[in-house]
């Protein structure tokens, strides 16, 4: 039997959300000037605007697109977009993992729409060539719970009639997003940046703004979803005037992560770290016959939320496997998502250090052999 490895990952945080804090993070390093103050005071609005400006800079987002901080994490941001813009034309929804399936449920059961649905099993991607772009199209750029991503933006036509709605959480800051192809994008700081949850980010391109200005949905909108005021876009939302009260502590935490990203060289620096982590995990998988990628096709395999299959494992085995590593302080939160096939999910985003991915390999061997001995 394999003996217990001598060295552990220095930071054994492999959760896919909230993911690991940036290296060097500590609570005392956060700016606290805005804490205890109104978010509508000059200091509050200036820090919210600064956070928006940093996101724009690091994402290399063009001036054509607006950025707003909204309630409810990525889920709230995406549902805000659905509730305010869908219904003007047909809807197509792509689902190859749990969150994409959630948007299908919202469209059918809550909004009472009749979307065309293109599904694929976990580990696979629907045929993107079959998407009807006369419709508004809902999709996840990177399926966090399946480890499957779209290969690029080439399948999205420049002359599309409908709007593209990209749930881009666990994708932004890790991939090149062709913003001219994206009308609506959403994400949360808790993914990729290592920020806190509860706040979402909504990005609107000019065609999405036009939809908001020209179309009023048939259903009532709760206050936290309302992006229009007196017949015009509520521009304040995209200038740090949030719809409801944000946590300024979470905002300062996001600012810390974004400033760290800038020091790395911005988007390219973040991508380099994520790519190195994914490569290190690929090497671990390649060296073990009992371990494999859920997404067999490397062209659609996530570089952030990497999902793995363990030979002969059921849900109980995976629970014990993850529990062993957590008890040893060698890896936290690596069990796959509850709706996914039993397996492991290891976060390889930029806030993880490659050395910790490399140190994880022997511990995976130890847990596997311990449970099979």
What is the DSSP code string of 237-272? GGGT--SS---HHHHHHHHHHHHHHHHHTTHHHHHH
Contact 58, 232 (CB under 8 A): no
State how far the alpha carbon of 229 is from the alpha carbons of 40, 72, 314, in Å.
18, 21, 52
- 42 φ/ψ angles, rounded to the nearest 5 degrees: -55, -40
| Residues 210/214/219/223 CA torsion (nearest 10 deg) | 60
Q: Does residue 172 have a pLDDT over 80?
A: yes
Whole-number pLDDT of residue 40: 87
In this prediction, residues 169-191 reach a mean pLDDT of 97
The SS3 assignment for 98 reads helix
The number of residues in the chain equals 373
The SS3 assignment for 187 reads strand
In this prediction, residues 300-329 reach a mean pLDDT of 98
Separation of first and last alpha carbons in the chain: 7
If one counts every other C-beta atom within 10 angstroms of the C-beta of residue 133, the result is 16
CA-closest candidate to residue 352, choices 331, 366, 367: 331
Please state the separation of Cα 361 from the chain's center in Å.
Answer: 25
Contact 350, 304 (CB under 8 A): no
Whole-number pLDDT of residue 230: 87
Q: Does residue 2 have a pLDDT over 80?
A: no
Confidence grade of residue 1 (pLDDT, cut at 50, 70, 90)? low
The SS3 assignment for 128 reads helix
- 222 φ/ψ angles, rounded to the nearest 5 degrees: -65, 160
Q: How many CA atoms lie within 13 A of 321 on its CB side?
A: 26
As given in the structure block, the two tokens for residue 92 are 């197509």
Q: Which helix (H) or strand (E) holds 118?
A: strand 116-119
Contact 191, 339 (CB under 8 A): no
Q: Does residue 46 have a pLDDT over 80?
A: yes
Q: Does residue 3 have a pLDDT over 90?
A: no
The pTM of this model reads: 0.96
Whole-number pLDDT of residue 361: 98
The 10s digit of each residue's pLDDT in 230-276 is 889 999 999 999 989 999 999 999 999 999 999 999 999 999 999 99
Share of the chain above pLDDT 90, in %: 95
Domains parsed from the chain with CATH numbers:
27-262 (3.40.640.10), 266-372 (3.90.1150.10)
| Angle value at C-alpha 140, between 200 and 276, nearest 5 degrees | 90
Share of the chain above pLDDT 70, in %: 99
Q: Which helix (H) or strand (E) holds 203?
A: strand 199-204
If one counts every other C-beta atom within 10 angstroms of the C-beta of residue 266, the result is 17
Q: Does residue 123 have a pLDDT over 70?
A: yes
The SS3 assignment for 228 reads strand
Average the pLDDT over each of 36-40, 114-118, 351-355 and give the range with the smallest value: 36-40
CA-closest candidate to residue 173, choices 157, 154, 193: 193
Look at strands 142-143 and 232-233 and give their pairing.
Answer: unpaired
| Angle value at C-alpha 175, between 172 and 176, nearest 5 degrees | 105
């Amino acid at each position: 039997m394999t003996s217990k490895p001598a060295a552990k990952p220095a930071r054994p945080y492999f959760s896919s959300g909230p993911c690991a804090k940036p290296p060097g993070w500590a609570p005392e390093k956060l700016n606290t000037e805005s804490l205890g103050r109104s978010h509508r005071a000059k200091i509050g609005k200036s820090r919210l605007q600064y956070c928006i400006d940093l996101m724009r800079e690091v994402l290399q987002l063009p001036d054509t697109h607006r950025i707003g901080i909204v309630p409810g994490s990525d889920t709230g941001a995406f549902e805000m977009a659905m509730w305010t813009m869908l219904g003007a034309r047909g809807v197509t929804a792509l689902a190859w993992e749990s969150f994409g399936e959630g948007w299908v449920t919202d469209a059918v059961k809550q909004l009472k729409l009749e979307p065309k649905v293109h599904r694929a099993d976990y580990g696979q991607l629907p045929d993107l060539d079959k998407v009807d772009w006369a419709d508004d199209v809902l999709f996840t750029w990177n399926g966090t719970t399946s480890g499957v991503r779209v290969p690029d933006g080439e399948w999205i036509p420049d002359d599309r009639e409908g709007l593209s709605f990209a749930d881009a959480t666990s994708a932004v800051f890790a991939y090149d997003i062709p913003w001219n192809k994206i009308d609506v994008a959403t994400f949360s700081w808790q993914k990729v940046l290592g920020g806190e949850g509860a706040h979402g980010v909504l990005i609107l391109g000019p065609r999405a703004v036009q939809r908001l200005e020209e179309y009023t949905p048939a259903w009532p909108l709760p206050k936290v979803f309302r992006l229009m005021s007196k017949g015009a876009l509520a521009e304040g939302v995209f200038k740090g005037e949030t719809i409801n009260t944000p946590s300024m502590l979470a905002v300062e935490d996001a600012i810390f992560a974004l400033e760290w990203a800038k020091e790395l060289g911005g988007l390219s620096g973040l991508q380099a770290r994520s790519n190195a982590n994914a490569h290190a995990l690929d090497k671990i998988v390649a060296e073990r016959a009992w371990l494999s990628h859920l997404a067999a096709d490397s062209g659609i395999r996530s570089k952030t939320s990497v999902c793995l299959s363990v030979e002969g494992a059921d849900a109980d085995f995976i629970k014990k496997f993850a529990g062993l590593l957590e008890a040893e302080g060698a890896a936290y939160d690596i069990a796959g998502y509850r709706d996914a096939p039993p397996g492991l999910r290891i976060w390889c985003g930029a806030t993880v250090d490659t050395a910790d991915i490399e140190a994880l390999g022997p511990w995976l061997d130890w847990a596997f052999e311990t449970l099979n001995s």
